[in-house]
Amino acid sequence: MRDPDGLIARAGVRGDPNRDQHFLVDDRVLNRIPTYLDDGEARRASDRASGEPPRAAEIDADTSHLLEIGGGTGALTDRLLEIADEVTVVERDRDLAAFLREEFADEIADERLTVIEGDALEVDLPDFSASVSNLPYGVSSEIAFRLLPEKRPLVLMFQQEFAERMVAEPGTSEYGRLSVSTQHYAEPELVESIPKEAFSPPPAVQSAVVRLIPREPEYTVDDEEFFLRFVKAMFTQRRKTIRNAIRNTAHITSLGAPDAVVEAADDDLLQKRADAMTPAEFAELARLATEVGQPEAN
């Protein structure tokens, strides 16, 4: 496999923190990341990395067509080509995209690799089977929530704090809108923390790899857009009770009759705060809100 430092040298580039460019150069980490698509391999890799096994999960992802967002100089791309039938890389940096086309010319000629130059938030994505990506941290949230509705297995790298919020449970300080929105689409699992020294140049914060297994929620949501907007609204008032949050956020939820929702809702739920509410409880209230709160059409 290609040496990550050699790739950087051949590309003639340096990572630029001002442009959110931090190249992953630790071979051991690079070799582990693709294994998180397979639960058995992931458990063994996590054991080696941290000494603690990940939570039990069942996944053996389809690697026929892997999507990578932010290919950089191709160190992870090279590893993905080892396990996939086909890889598509989206890279917004023109010079790096040109380097990838040159460095992986044989793989492109064999139709095993496609390089898309452009912004991952704007380009048309292929019909991928799974995604493994070291995301640009500045837009990691936006990219993650473009990928999550596709309901494909994802192995994504984020800032550690962001990753911890994705996997947080109700009643914890990290639990918030991000936790609920993520867990609406998938079962997230923080499988490995990555030290700053694994990157060139080192970022200011530690990173973490999150595996996201797509799943249908254990609750029903009639209007997904309203549900997510309702969750967002409740967490803008996280220090308030849900009773007061519903009344104070009609400008966000577009509810015409927030008092009607309060009158119809279960008092036990109304006394909670947002950070104690499960996704299912948010769904229950959002469903009630659409029934009696007269939400305005957007």
**Residue 91, annotated as binding a ligand:** yes
**Residue 22, annotated as binding a ligand:** yes
**Residue 70, annotated as binding a ligand:** yes
The answer to whether 255 and 295 have CB atoms below 8 angstroms apart is yes
Which residues, at least 6 apart from 56, have a Cβ–Cβ distance to it below 8 Å? Answer: none
**Residue 248, annotated as binding a ligand:** no
**Residue 119, annotated as binding a ligand:** yes
Tokens of 271: 């006394």
**Residue 24, annotated as binding a ligand:** yes
Inter-CA distances, 203 with 29, 136, 197, Å: 16, 11, 8
3-state percent helix, strand, coil for the chain, nearest multiple of 5: 50, 20, 35
Residues in the chain: 298
Burial class (CB in 10 A: 0-12, 13-18, 19+), 131: buried
- Euclidean distance between CA atoms 55 and 189, whole angstroms: 7
**Which residues are known binding-site members?**
22, 24, 70, 91, 119, 134
**Which residues are known binding-site members for S-adenosyl-L-methionine?**
22, 24, 70, 91, 119, 134
